[in-house]
A and B are shown apart, each in its own frame.
Chain A
Amino acid sequence: MTRYVVERVAWLLVSLLSVSVITFGLGVLAPGDPAEVVLEHRLNQPPPREQVLAQRRLMGLDRPLTAQYLHWLAAASHGDLGHSWLKGLRVSTALGERIPRTAALAAAAAVLAVLIGLPAGILAAVRRGSIADHLCRVGALLAASVPAYFAAYVLILMFAVRLHLLPAFGFGSASNLVLPAVTLALGPAAVLARLTRSTVLETLGEDYVRTARAKGAGTVAVLIGHALRNAMVPLLTVIGLLLGHLLGGSLVVEYVFAWPGMGDLAISAVHARDYPLIQGFVLFAGAVYVVVNFAVDLGYAWLDPRIRTGRRS
């Protein structure tokens, strides 16, 4: 197990380093002179040439690329991602304000997706061919097909305009979180339900499940102790990917519900060619994917002894 963990940590570091190279490369390959863009933002007019040259020196843009990268990496490893040209704030401050909000929304949506998707999928698998199965499948199809903005408006109409139970927009209280989290959870819940149904159905047909049943294990014990545990390996992969997707993909939901998260910050940065902020966002999103996948890898080892002991069937 130790060797497995060490291997995964090594891959984690290599992946993070690759993300940093790509992120830095984005800034280098981006069109336009960063020094000129910074000054234009500051002066709101085209800057004189000598001022641009001075700014290039100040930003270290006159040094070799390797030196720039190492300097950037050293600063980034201490949380210093430079200054946003758009907002005049430190990138870490701008991201630091938004990350918790998006993370809260993503976490709530992920929990909801798992709480809805897993039981629904299990129910559909166990009651295959029943009305419950059909309902789950149709529900999953609808939830996966409906665009997030449409679901958002329908939920606002229903729960804010008609029933006055929840706020239509805003941020700051638990009630504000409900509608955006439900909207965001619908798609992932549908994916999880469908995947859970198929993987549980597959494991229920395995020899070890038949053996367990033959030895007198009850339905619940078979389901939890055997079928679900084995079905969890592919499910864990999908949950990991969904979490990464939720953290980076809540733009539409954030916009509709006026939820001040990472989404509109990232879009503003792209529109304004605010490269430090774009780099910060890409670095964060890349790091999240890498770390979540690392956690998923550890989860595999915990779920499947063959992985942690290095044996393969």
Chain B
Amino acid sequence: MKLRVAVVFLVLTAACGGGGRGTDKAASTQTTQAAVALPDDQQTLTVATPGDVYITRDRNLLGMWPDNANICETLLGVDTDLRPVPVLATKWSLVGTNTWRFELRRGVTFHNGAPFNAEAVRFSMARVAAKSLALTSFIGPDSTKVIDDFTVEITPTQANLRLPEQISHPNFSIIAPGTDPVDKPVCTGPFKFGDYSPNDHFTALRNDAYWGDKAKLRQLVFRFIPDQNTRRLALESGQVDGIYFLPPQQAAAVKARPDLQLAPTPPGATVVLSFNLHGQDPNTLMQDIDLRRALAWSLDPKALADQQWQGTAQAITTVSPPSVLGAAASQIAAITGDLAKAEALLDQKGWKKGSDGIREKDGKKLSLVTPAQFDFEPESLQFMQAQARRAGIDLKVDKASDGAAYSAKINSGAWDVDINYWNQNDGNPASIVSRLWYGKNTAARIKFTSAGDKFDALVDQAVAAPDTATSAQKSVDAMKVLLAEQADAIPLTSFPQIFAFKKSVAGFVAHPSVNLQSWTATYRTK
């Protein structure tokens, strides 16, 4: 595998005429603003994304998530500082103890000409509940009440004061009543559905009747290219105008080319290792807190950030991006980055290194089944494997072929350590803790990861907190239990996603959450 990576790297570097190592800090998140735009009939932008997730997941979120073609909109959005902003709702307020009232934007129509109103919100939220898209918002089938044509109230099934932050997720898109996105998403966004060819492309067309600032692009095409090297080569060949998820190791070489530019997002995702805490034989090793602690000490997030991500990422001690937690983030001490401690702990617990360098005890090897998300960067996976191996821990990485395969593996429970990155898709400080370890979350993975009553109680408080600062503090308190007390997870890095474009693409502003990326200001220039 190392040889393969080395060879590919050599070939790619040679093709680019070299390219020194360097860093590309996430300072610039906007592509160049050029004066002369191409004529409207040439305003088609083709962007390459990793594989077609809609073919393996159901199509309930076609064009919405994870590739957001701006066809659909939510009641609220989040700005680049992850603060809620009005979209289809113009005002929102808490009414009583657990009911949110939203005043809706007037004069908005769906792509099929139907008017946007309170009934459309009720229809969409009922669909969210029926299709299990509610995440941890606790929106139930009867949670949404129409007050008048342009006012709705949403009452979660349990206390949840984070709702305005949560419903900016594309899962909560407002759909035209009587339509089904599985066939064709009909919404209110600046783009409307064009066509979808499984495993090949998805096309969105400008909505000329859009209620807000109209898109500068006439057509937006997503091409599905699972291989990261082919994505880059497709950009260099000119076959596409931009690509998602450029590996950080290739950023310097791409940046050095006169015809290409980078657009990294602000760090909005975290790399976190989770453990199977409640698995059945043979996946029970991680029920031992000492093994969890040893693995944590064996990994060095700073080396991962500096060497693999070439300075574009930052080592973290929290499972959410520190930016969303504010000052409270600094209260959590590192549980990583001390190889000597890892080795001492394993020695003390009787795990001895075998002839292959992997530790064993009572005839059992310290070999851990480690599924990784399909689009996780392979070089970083190898780096983590190498670090764990120094301590005598064998991470048997099993990189999924697509998102559904990854979910199926995790939901089966046949794993020990889970490597994934998690997007902070909204301004909710409790978002990641409630998605991954919160016992009241009904997602299948929680059966294996739930962190216990003490943690759950703190997440409850974070969710029910009246303001964001209090929620952040309670989330940090929950993380103290999760990390320092129980070592139920290992936070490693917070990192940007790196978009790369031709120099002729202008106006693109990278959002910290790629799932919420806006394309309306982007255009092609001469």
Which residues does A use to contact B, with CB under 8 Å? 31-32, 37, 40-41, 43-46, 86-88, 97, 147, 149-150, 153-154, 156-157, 160-162, 164, 167-172, 255-258, 260, 264, 267-268, 270-274
Contact = CB atoms under 8 A, between A and B. Distances in A.
A268 to B, nearest CB: 5
Given A161-B15, A169-B239, A86 B408 contact: yes
Q: Lowest 3 CB-CB distances: which A-B pairs, in order? A: A271-B405, A260-B199, A272-B408
A150 B11 contact: yes
A40 B200 contact: no
A171 B200 contact: yes
B233 A156 contact: yes
Contact of B400 (A32, A150, A170, A271): A271
Given A87-B55, A161-B236, A161-B237, A257 B409 contact: no
Interface of B: 4, 7-8, 11-12, 15, 51-52, 55-56, 58, 132, 198-200, 223-227, 229-230, 233-234, 236-239, 398, 400-402, 404-409, 411-412, 414, 442-444, 447
A167 to B, nearest CB: 6
Given A40-B411, A274-B408, 10 more contacts: A87-B55, A147-B4, A153-B11, A161-B15, A162-B15, A260-B200, A264-B401, A268-B405, A272-B407, A272-B409
A86 B404 contact: yes
Contacts of A267: 401, 405
B224 A271 contact: no
Nearest to A85: B408
B408 A41 contact: yes
Contacts of B15: 157, 161-162
B404 A169 contact: no
B401 A268 contact: yes
A268 B56 contact: yes
Contacts of B7: 150
B144 to A, nearest CB: 22
10 contacts: A149-B8, A157-B15, A157-B233, A160-B234, A161-B237, A169-B230, A264-B402, A271-B401, A272-B405, A273-B412
Contacts of A156: 230, 233, 237
Contacts, number: 117
A189 B409 CA distance: 38
A44 B443 contact: yes
B230 A168 contact: yes
A215 to B, nearest CB: 54
B239 A160 contact: yes
A270 B56 CA distance: 13
B225 A258 contact: yes
Q: Which of B132, B237, B400 has the most CB of A within 10 A?
A: B237
Given A41-B408, A161-B233, A153 B132 contact: no
A156 to B, nearest CB: 5
A161 to B, nearest CB: 5
B442 A45 contact: yes
A258 B408 contact: no
Contact of B444 (A44, A162, A255): A44
Contacts of B443: 44-45
A268 B4 contact: no
Residue among B224, B236, B405, B444 with max Cβ neighbours from chain A (10 Å): B405
A94 to B, nearest CB: 10
A163 B58 CA distance: 40
B280 to A, nearest CB: 11
Contacts of A45: 442-444
A44 B447 CA distance: 11
B11 A167 contact: no
Contacts of B239: 160, 167-170
Contacts of A162: 15
B160 to A, nearest CB: 19
Nearest to B446: A45
A21 B237 CA distance: 48
Given A153-B8, A255-B227, A168 B237 contact: yes
B373 to A, nearest CB: 12
A72 B230 CA distance: 41
B11 A157 contact: yes
B34 to A, nearest CB: 23
Given A169-B225, A258-B227, A268 B234 contact: no
Contacts of B4: 147, 149
Nearest to A272: B408
A168 B234 contact: yes
B167 to A, nearest CB: 20
A45 B52 CA distance: 24
Contacts of B238: 164
B494 to A, nearest CB: 27
Most chain B CB atoms below 10 A, which of A37, A46, A156, A168: A168
Given A157-B15, A268-B401, A273 B200 contact: no
Nearest to B132: A44
